[in-house]
Amino acid sequence: MYAVVHCAHEDNGPIYDVLGGVAGIAKGAGKAVIKVTAREVTQAVVKQTEKKILWAAWKDYEKVNVDGQTYAIVGNRLFSRHAVDRMQPSGMRYTSDTAGGKVGASRIESTGQIDYGRGVAPQYVEDVINSTQPIIQGNGNLSYTSGSLTVITNIRGAVVTLITK
Q: Could you state, in order of their start, the residue ranges of all structural domains in the chain?
A: 3-51, 58-164
Give the tens place of pLDDT for each residue, 36-80.
666 776 666 556 555 678 888 888 899 999 999 999 999 999 999
Coil, helix or strand for 95? coil
CB of 80 closer than 8 Å to CB of 109: no
Q: Would you report the helix, strand and coil content of the chain in percent, each value rounded to 5?
A: 25, 35, 40
The overall pTM is greater than 0.75: no
128 vs 90: which has the higher pLDDT: 128
Band (92; pLDDT cuts 50, 70, 90):
very low
Q: Bridge partners of 144?
A: 151
What's residue 146's pLDDT? 95
